[in-house]
Amino acid sequence: MTTLPRKPQVVVTGVGMYTPLGPDTNSTWSALLAGRCGVKRITRFDPTGFPVTFAAQAPNPEPGSDLKLSLVKTALSEALEQSRFVGGPDTAICVGSEASRPDLQTLARRYRLGELPSSREIMASAALAPSLLVREMTSCTGPISTISTACTSSGQAIGEGFLRIRRRQVGAVVVGGVDVLVDPLMIAGFSLLGALSTRNDDPATSSRPFDRDRDGFVLGEGAAFMILEDLERARARGATVLGTVLGYGSSLNAYRITDSPPDGRGAALAMEAALRSAGIQAERVDYINAHGTSTMQNDSSETAAMHSVFSATNSRVPISSTKGSTGHLIAACGALEAVFCLLAMRDSLAPHTLNLRDPHPDMGLHFVMDEPLHRPINISISSSFGFGGSNAVLVLGRNP
């Protein structure tokens, strides 16, 4: 009888982030558990006259430089230092990112003055710019990918990196995501779609995931990165294991571009695929970090999906959305929330959902409210469901 080779175990050896709550992982996590909120009135431009005047901004860690690339550099540096990562031909890159919106007025004014932008300035607005910066910082010479699927971008980036290691294509992958969204065009565009909360008089309570009184999501921005490795590779070089990626599932709703189907079927397909990939039953999941954007229809759709997949355990498994504190980081949210899952397992502490005060009784799920929940967490799920209908779900574990 032929014995099939065992699939590599995919572990996390480094994490880093820069968010509206703090400039690194520890400060962000501490602020999240303390119930602090990163949503405030916009200061990057004068929002007077806009339908929405608030967002969850990330201050530039390197004033005067490109914000998106500064966020990547800061968050990735933290992950690389923690991991003591070494790049090479067996290492790959997979980053979730959207194209930036260049300041066309400034570029036009400089052009008239004869100040032509450099090639680096032009490339900085491209969706692949963060991936190229990661290459410069890590010396990875394996495959490089940029995923741009709106809210699932970095969740899919982690999943695709996980698959590369599981298929023995590489021994390690730098994964993560970044997005910078707080500009006049994005505020106006999402306002026209009717997707943003309009609580201009009380920004701190504007993002209300799964609450009966929710009225839209809040734009956020930031970056989060993880170093994924084959467990044998990590042990051989003496790296500290922070957790594991056990499974990954993705799907497409094939519904409306801005709404999820009411029955949650697309999200449910991704959840079921992730559990199959991990080889575990739904009953073994100890915590779910939900996508929970605070939009009326999408939160209801996600709730339907969780009822479908976790029907036998929906009164037990703790669920929270951390977007009440951070806002919605779009392309970076999947990576940020996957790190939150790792920290929740490390500390046996499920973060609560800020501003969730009155969940709709029909939801019937165990939402973590008011304060973090102390309990052992060995397996967690991070869900990302995006505009355009893409879905990505990760199953993470505490130990190899």
Taking the C-alpha atoms of residue 173 and residue 165, their distance in angstroms, rounded to an integer, is 8
CA–CA distance, 251 with 128 (Å, rounded to integer): 23
Closest CA to 99 of 72, 63, 123: 123
Q: Please identify which of the residues 140, 328, 333, 341 carries the catalytic annotation.
A: 328
Q: For residue 228, give the amino acid letter.
A: L
140 part of the active site: no
First to last CA, the chain: 27
Report the half-sphere exposure of 37 (CA within 13 A, side-chain side): 19
Tokens 């959207």 locate to 98
Q: Is 328 a catalytic residue?
A: yes
What does DSSP say about strands 379-385 and 222-230: parallel, antiparallel, or unpaired?
A: unpaired
- Contact indicator for 137, 87 with CB cutoff of 8 Å: no
Token couple for 15: 């994490």
Q: Which of 163, 219, 162, 156 is nearest to 191 (CA)?
A: 219
Contact 293, 211 (CB under 8 A): no
Look at the block and give the residue holding tokens 């707080």.
182
Of the candidates 37, 94, 140, 151, the residue annotated as catalytic is: 151
Non-local CB neighbours of 62 within 8 Å, separated by 6+ positions: 70, 73, 74
Task: Show the DSSP H helices in the chain as ranges.
Answer: 25-33, 67-83, 104-112, 119-123, 129-138, 153-166, 184-192, 231-236, 265-278, 296-309, 323-326, 333-347
H or E segment at 96? strand 91-97
Please, what's the b/e burial string for 2-33 (b: 16 or more CB within 10 A of its CB; e: otherwise)? eeeeeebbbbbbbbbbbbbbbbbbeebbebbb
Residues in the chain: 400
- Tokens of residue 320, six digits: 């929270």
Q: Which of 291, 341, 352, 366 is catalytic?
A: 291
For residue 245, the Cα-to-chain-centroid distance in whole angstroms is: 15
Question: Could you say which DSSP state residue 352 is in?
Answer: P
Q: Which residues are catalytic?
A: 151, 291, 328
